[in-house]
Amino acid sequence: MKIALITGVSKGLGESIAKAFLESGIKVLGISRNENKRLRKIADKNNVSYQHYSCDLANMSGLEATIEQLKQDMDSHRPSLLYLINNAAIVEPINQVHQLDNEALLYHFQLNTVAPIILMNQMLHFTTIIDANFIGVNITSGAADRPIYGWGAYCSSKASINMYTRTAALEQEEQKTGQKIIAFNPGIMNTNMQQLIRSSSKEAFREVDKFKAYKEKNQLRDTDTVGGILIDILNDEASIENGKIYQVNEYF
Ligand SMILES: NC(=O)c1ccc[n+]([C@@H]2O[C@H](COP(=O)([O-])OP(=O)(O)OC[C@H]3O[C@@H](n4cnc5c(N)ncnc54)[C@H](OP(=O)(O)O)[C@@H]3O)[C@@H](O)[C@H]2O)c1
């Protein structure tokens, strides 16, 4: 049995990825603070199982308790292949670095960097113990590769997740375990995250007009299309390049 563990399934890209897995008959375990009732309906329609775990990934004790629960639940199913899609993330706080609030910064890095790394580490360990194949995906951003005025937190957390991806993949590659870890940059999409970006002040975020224009000119991609591209990459299992930072733009 194949299982997909996906974070941030209540909306946006995470919902689309979960939907695509369910439609291809793969059991989904979804994590987010709010439950997504649409996914349960899609699971029922496709006669496949969907389980939701309510968790604030920025809360360490909540994260650890959820991981223990996940391991117990998965142990009884003994998956042959586990996918982990680290998708949940936030862009805020948006501000010049010298004006960033300490608490907001801590929350940001716990959610965007620490939680995905811990989840990846734990699932790699778990699949090694139960002798299952593992493919881990960190959803990243173009912000990992270029400095953006006002996005000091987001550029840094996404750059960090890219380097983690490459390091974890290097270790698995050198040990010839067959376990794979990649990152996937989904490009600009029509989600709540973009809405929040457009509501920034120009003082905090210099490029705000450019992002408003993306929406006005209908340049934001649909999450189902982007999620489908990721599923196509994952389905071609033998071709997955360990440690690669996949760019959605190369698929259009
Ligand atoms: N949208 C874009 O243009 C764009 C561009 C490049 C990269 N990305 C990346 O793509 C991924 C998905 O973004 P999106 O645009 O789909 O975001 P979104 O619409 O804002 O959705 C974010 C998801 O993350 C979950 N989440 C947020 N805070 C959480 C927390 N503390 N604990 C658990 N879950 C939490 C949310 O669920 P709850 O609120 O229910 O917890 C939601 O399901 C992110 O990694 C983002 O960085 C997006």
The best mutation among 87, 157, 207, 224 to test binding of ligand 1, ranked by most ligand atoms within 8 Å of the C-beta, falls on 87
Question: Domain spanning 2-187+222-251 has what CATH number?
Answer: 3.40.50.720
Residue with CA closest to ligand 1 atom 14 = 12
What are the helix (H) ranges across the chain? 12-23, 37-45, 60-77, 102-109, 115-129, 152-174, 192-198, 208-216, 223-235
With contact defined as beta carbons under 8 Å apart, do 176 and 210 qualify? no
Q: How far apart are CA 90 and CA 93, in angstroms?
A: 8
Q: How far is the CA of 39 from the centre of ligand 1 (A)?
A: 16
With contact defined as beta carbons under 8 Å apart, do 87 and 7 qualify? yes
pLDDT tens for 33-58 read: 999 999 999 999 999 999 999 999 99
User: How many other C-beta atoms lie within 10 A of the C-beta of residue 195?
Assistant: 10
The response to whether residue 227 sits with its C-beta less than 6 Å from ligand 1 reads no
| Residue 21: both structure tokens together | 């897995």
pTM confidence score: 0.99
Residue with CA closest to ligand 1 atom 46 = 89
Q: How far is the CA of 129 from the centre of ligand 1 (A)?
A: 30
Residue boundaries of the structural domains of the chain:
2-187+222-251
pLDDT tens for 164-190 read: 999 999 999 999 999 999 999 999 999
Q: What is the pLDDT of residue 76?
A: 87
Residue 41 CA: distances (Å) to CA of 12, 37, 50, 70, 222: 17, 7, 9, 22, 21
With contact defined as beta carbons under 8 Å apart, do 65 and 41 qualify? no
The best mutation among 10, 66, 158, 230 to test binding of ligand 1, ranked by most ligand atoms within 8 Å of the C-beta, falls on 10
Residue 7 CA: distances (Å) to CA of 112, 120, 145: 11, 11, 23
As a dihedral over the C-alpha atoms of residue 204, residue 210, residue 214, residue 215, rounded to 10 degrees, the angle is 50
Q: Which residue type does 232 have?
A: D
Residue 79 has pLDDT above 90, yes or no: yes
